[in-house]
Structures are given as structure tokens and as C-alpha cells.
Structure 1
């Protein structure tokens, strides 16, 4: 059994719009202007222009190099190799002294803040001297160096969250390609789905149907049936899925916060939670917000109904990373995973592998939101205007 997918996610206009020139195995498609659109299609969710061009270059796999017959998973075989002393230090701590990882992250962030503050203090002290230009340049270089270090710290925090689930990030896909076929085992679908609520999982399943043609009623044979997809489209889907995961986490917490504001008990719990979270680095829970058992007669608004009330500007704000460091991380991760060679070649794979990649990307986006929220309580991330 073989299907040919030419689907692509249009991240310029709609995050979960899927264009297709041939029938997919999904049933009951919703058509709009010749495209397939999910009930959860949302206008305004897109990568900023400066990132979009970089991702386009990153969306390719070098099929000529062959590769191994299986993905070479290992404890720290991540697509991005930490390039800063801070990143290499944390990767060593995570590998050899896992129990000290939280303290190491906190100390590293505090040191980066101190380094930047010291450089700018020296610049201020020498503002009227002959060395002002030198110290201004030193301060700029130190700030840039610290930004790169912070991105490595954020990446290691995301990797830590995956390791808590006992899920390894998929390594560069060149290590997973054999005779132009990509397969990823073990799938780890259950672990990747376990971080989401039931309502979010329903939205994700709809997203999977319209992004890659996967259906929840697939048999084992259908899940592992051979399908084809352009590697550039696969990169687009993966990157868009990161933003979709970021969007889901952002709007879910916003929804819970707004629902809590009409319930004094929930409001008290939420305020307590937000005060505590500033002192946490990522515990063993999945960042679940406690809710009050005393709901009274107030009817809780469903998340999907809540989202329909968003304006396009609000949707775009929730879907795009708030900081340039987080945005850079999305681009760098996609680049490292898919390579840098432009090509129109097709990749043979299965719906099970496509689902694995999408679930990983959604989890990555969710963890990116957590990481960004934590880091900015210590380090001043550069906001996107």
C-alpha cells in the first residue's frame, strides 16, 4: 500500500492549512479555495519574515550521502551541538551529574547576567574617556556572546524536559535515511502525548489529520504504509508544528488564567502558582496548573470555543515566540535537523514516522514556551516587536 503526499503547511498565512494535489487517506476533508483546512485553522500564525527565509534554506536533506539504517539515538545526540562554554557545561552536567542540573542552570544564568552587567558598567564608567569606544565594543560583544549562551541554556532545558519523558530528540535526519527511506523507532507516541490534556489531544489529532493525513482509526498496516513527501514540505510541517505547540501552551495557560479570575479560589491558586514558578527550573511535573475543586455552578468555557473569540492579532501573538532567542532556537533546531541542501527529491516514509516527527515538534514548542517563561525571570531576553 503506497500513498503519495505532496502536502505542505502554509505557514505564511495559516498554521495548519495543508495544500494537496493528490488524494490523501484522510476522510471528510474540509476544502477551502482548493486547500484542505482543519477546523482549527487560524489566520495570522506565521514565522516572522527574517526567520522565514532562513528556514526555507534549512529545509533539505542530503539523500546522496545514504545514512544509516536506523536513527542513532543516544543520551545527548541532539540535532544542535552546544557551541558555547555554558552549553557544553550543562550538557556535561546533565550527562554525568543529573541531580545537579537545576542548580547548574540557575548558576549559569546568574553568571551570564553578571557578565553583561559588568560589561555595561565598565562602558558607563569610561563613557567620557578615550577608551569609551573600546569598552562600548566590548559590551556589545559580551552581550552577543551571552545571547548565544542563553540559547544553548534554553536548548538544554528543552532537552531536559524530553529526557524526563524518556524520549530522545530525533538526531539529524541524515543519520536516519537509508535508501531514501526514513523510519524512526521507537515511536514514543504515548510519552509525547502524555504532556497534553485530553482537550489538547483532540486538537492535536485534528492537526495530524490535516497536516500529514494521519487518522486515529488507522490500522497497524495503514500506519506503517509507505508514503512519500517532499523533504522541504516535511521541514515546513515540523517548523509549523513547533509553533503550533507553542501556541497551544500559550493559549491553554491564558485560558486557565482567565477562567480562574471569575473564581476567587482559583484566582488565589493561580496567583500562588505564578509566584512559585519564578523559583522553579522545571520540576518532575508537566507544569500542570492546579485548579479548584469548587467550581460551583459556573460553566467552564471549552478551550476551542475560547479560541474562536481571539482576534487575528491575539492569535499571532500567542503563536509566535516572544523573544528573538526563542525564535533563533526554532530556526537553528530545524536547520540542524533537516540540513542545508535545497532539493525537490521525495522522501519515502510511513504515517507512523510522520506522526512521531509532528508530536515531537509540538512537544518542543510547548517546552520552548516553558523555557522562555523561566529564563526571562532571570535574564532579559530580547523581545520581538
Structure 2
């Protein structure tokens, strides 16, 4: 079966494999989250300035902390590193200074990495060599954690610049409902190109199915399954921004293949005619969370292709060969994968694993959510993934860490 056709019958299918091996293993049966979050804010020294005198902007990460921080009001994920906590404070107090603070922290990270690479390993004893390598490993892990939280802070800032509040940790109220969030669908739509938003609408059609026009209805759904769809939608948004940038560039340069739309429309018509029904392809439908029957709830998308419309960007991507499509669907850095894991866990928590005589069982809870709330979750997730691509590219231009 054509890779591109398979991908765009259910956009998330292609995103389950390309992530590097360690990431795909973690995203398997659970979110793959192994770290519990904790938070303490930092104190930023405030300096008095003499009138008429200008001072350069200098930011430093402080080691002091305050466990009473209200960081959750900005984003569900709580920062752990001193740099992350410092940027969190900047986000709350002076969000317009975040880019300058980030550039300075990246410069310091680059200095530290260069200094480590220039130092020669000791040639004395085996014990000294082991100790040296251990210290180097600890410092590398510290830099990686700081880099993750720099990326996360930049994503959060993008939402703040758009005047959009990130959904807080999903916690049911007394009635069991979770979606008491403001409706910001219109704002989220404006953050994407017209062609990209058409693709997002197809993505929503695959998830909501025939309930796309009934957003007030309430469903009782597995919290874990909603978390799976959220994480997969973040990855889809990352992929979508990546291919849309290429599309928009070729569109501006007027080098788009003229025959692409016509050829792919005819090709898709042929594939649609040969598409198996939901009864004939149950194994494939049940294999993916966004096109399966949701446990504990009446969410039944209409199978592959339900509500999916031919769009210009979709046809453009379908013209890619298999290798190109897989490369574009790959999350490029371990740091970005880790952010998706941690952010999703901060939103939905970790499924409780109960050991029984029959084996380990995931103890999940059901939540009550409207289809409108589910739409908001997916729109935010896709936008989060789009922003993640943007900030990953920005940071990599100043501190190279992306491998491909």
C-alpha cells in the first residue's frame, strides 16, 4: 500500500514509527513517562536604576528557590533545572525578555560544551578516567535538561504571545467533567496557514468522526486514551509545520509541481474506490487510538477516510516518496521527544500500574469531556507540535543539538 495514502487516511499512523528507537519504545503501551515533576521557582534580584542611566540586560540563573510558586498558571509542566526555573520566572514577570534570556543561556551552554570538548581526558589511572567520564556524563545530562526546558519555555512564550492559555492539568471536578476551558479555537486556527488548517480539519474529522457537528455532547472516555491522542496530535503538528514550511517556500518561489494536484486527486480516487470498509479492516482501525472505539465512551470515528477531504497540502505531501515522508515525520531530537512525554504526563498524569496474579494491569480512570473540549485539546496539541518545530529550529541555529 502506498505509504503516503496510508499516512493520510489516518495522519498519525506514520508518526508511530519514525521517532528514534528509545522514543518509540516509550510511546508504546503507555505515555512512556518515567520522571515525576517537581517545582521550585527562583528569585530574580531586582536592581534599582539611577534615573537617566541605561544598563545592559544581563540574566543569570539563580540557585535560590521558592516551593510556593504558581508556575502551573503558565503551563502544566513544572521546571526542574535552575535555568528552567529562571526562565519560568521571566515568563511570569517579563515575558518579552525571554528571547534575550534564552540567547544568553544558550551562549553559556555552548561555552560549557566547548570547554569540555577542549579538555583532554586524564591519562593517569583507570580510576581517574572513570571519574572524569562520570563527571562529563553528569554535566552533559544537566545541559540536556536545561536545553529541554529552554525549548519548553519558548513554546509556552509563543502561546502567551498569541494570548492563548495552555490547558492546565486535566483534573475532573466533582461531577467528573474536565473541560471547563475557554473556547479559543478561533485563535488557534489563526496560528496556521490556510493549507495547514485544512489538514488539521481532516485530523479532527478522523478523531471526532460523525460527532464533529455535535460539540456539546458529553462522553465518558478513558483518560489514558485521551492522553495518547494528545501526544500523537503533538507529533502530527510537528510533522505538519515541517511539511507546510517546505510547501509555503515552494509556493512562494512558484516551483510547486503543476501536475501534483491533478495526478494525486486521480490516484486518491482510485484508492478511495478500493478502500476497505470498516468491517473489512477492523484490525487496522483498532490499532490506532484516534480511529478506534474509545473505551468507556461513545466516540466512533467512521473509519479510514471519514470526513477526510482532498486538500492542496495533502496532495503535495502524497507526492513524496516513502523515504522523504518518513524523514519529515521523524522528530529530530531526543530533547523534543522528552518534552512531548513530560508535557503530556503533566496534563494527564501517569497510568497507575497494579500488579495482580494475572500480571501487571494499567488502572485507568474515565473522564467526562464534551466533544468541544476534545476538539480544543487536539487543536492545542497540534499547535504545540507546530511551535515545537519552530523553537527547535531556532535553538539549533544557536546551539547545535539536532542530529538530522
TM-score under structure 1 normalisation? 0.70
| Structure 1 residues 255-288: Cα deviation after superposition (integer angstroms, max 9, x where no partner) | 233445556xxxxxxxxxxxxxxxxxxxxxxxxx
Judge conservation of contact 1:59–1:338 (CA < 8 Å) in 2: no
Q: Distance in 2 between matches of 1:15 and 1:114?
A: 43
Of residues 221, 226, 242, the one that matches 2:234 is 242
Q: Distance in 1 between matches of 2:190 and 2:345?
A: 27
Of residues 169, 172, 176, the one that matches 1:172 is 169
Say whether residues 1:323 and 2:333 are aligned partners. yes
| Structure 1 residues 346-380: Cα deviation after superposition (integer angstroms, max 9, x where no partner) | 32211110000000000000000001101111222
Q: Equivalent residue for 2:110? A: 113
Which consecutive residues of structure 1, in runs of 5 or more, have no partner in the other structure? 1-13, 18-36, 61-72, 264-300
* Shift of residue 77, structure 1, vs aligned partner: 3.8
Indicate the larger mover: 326-335 or 75-84.
75-84
Q: Equivalent residue for 2:30? A: 57
Judge conservation of contact 2:234–2:382 (CA < 8 Å) in 1: yes
Judge conservation of contact 2:211–2:371 (CA < 8 Å) in 1: no
Judge conservation of contact 1:208–1:358 (CA < 8 Å) in 2: yes
Judge conservation of contact 2:87–2:150 (CA < 8 Å) in 1: yes
Say whether residues 1:181 and 2:177 are aligned partners. yes
Q: Equivalent residue for 1:223? A: 215
Judge conservation of contact 2:215–2:371 (CA < 8 Å) in 1: yes
| Structure 1 residues 76-111: Cα deviation after superposition (integer angstroms, max 9, x where no partner) | 442211100110111111211223221101001111
* Shift of residue 336, structure 1, vs aligned partner: 1.5
* Shift of residue 223, structure 1, vs aligned partner: 1.4
* Shift of residue 213, structure 1, vs aligned partner: 2.5
Which has the larger Rg?
A: 2
Q: Equivalent residue for 1:266? A: none
* Shift of residue 181, structure 1, vs aligned partner: 2.1
Judge conservation of contact 1:58–1:338 (CA < 8 Å) in 2: no
Judge conservation of contact 1:90–1:101 (CA < 8 Å) in 2: yes
* Shift of residue 58, structure 1, vs aligned partner: 3.5
Q: Distance in 1 between matches of 2:241 and 2:252?
A: 17
Q: Equivalent residue for 1:134? A: 131
Query: Residues 266-285 of structure 1 correspond to what in structure 2 (within 5 A)?
Result: none
Q: Secondary structure in 2 aligned to 1:173? A: coil
Which consecutive residues of structure 2, in runs of 5 or more, have no partner in the other structure? 34-69, 256-310, 352-361
Q: Equivalent residue for 1:257? A: 249
Of residues 91, 97, 102, the one that matches 2:88 is 91
| Structure 1 residues 196-227: Cα deviation after superposition (integer angstroms, max 9, x where no partner) | 122222211121111123666x2xxx311112
Q: Equivalent residue for 2:381? A: 361
- The alpha-carbon distance between structure 1 residues 78 and 113, as it changes in their structure 2 partners (threshold 3 A), is same
Q: Distance in 2 between matches of 1:15 and 1:346?
A: 34
| Structure 1 residues 218-262: Cα deviation after superposition (integer angstroms, max 9, x where no partner) | 2xxx31111232222211111111111111100011223344555
* Shift of residue 145, structure 1, vs aligned partner: 0.6
Say whether residues 1:146 and 2:143 are aligned partners. yes
Q: Distance in 2 between matches of 1:214 and 1:152?
A: 39
Q: Equivalent residue for 1:332? A: 342
Of residues 177, 189, 192, the one that matches 2:188 is 192
Q: Secondary structure in 1 aligned to 2:219? A: strand
- The alpha-carbon distance between structure 1 residues 229 and 75, as it changes in their structure 2 partners (threshold 3 A), is closer
TM-score under structure 2 normalisation? 0.67
Indicate the larger mover: 358-367 or 43-52.
43-52
Q: Secondary structure in 2 aligned to 1:228? A: strand
Judge conservation of contact 2:74–2:92 (CA < 8 Å) in 1: no
Q: Equivalent residue for 1:46? A: 16
Aligned residues: 297
- The alpha-carbon distance between structure 1 residues 310 and 320, as it changes in their structure 2 partners (threshold 3 A), is same
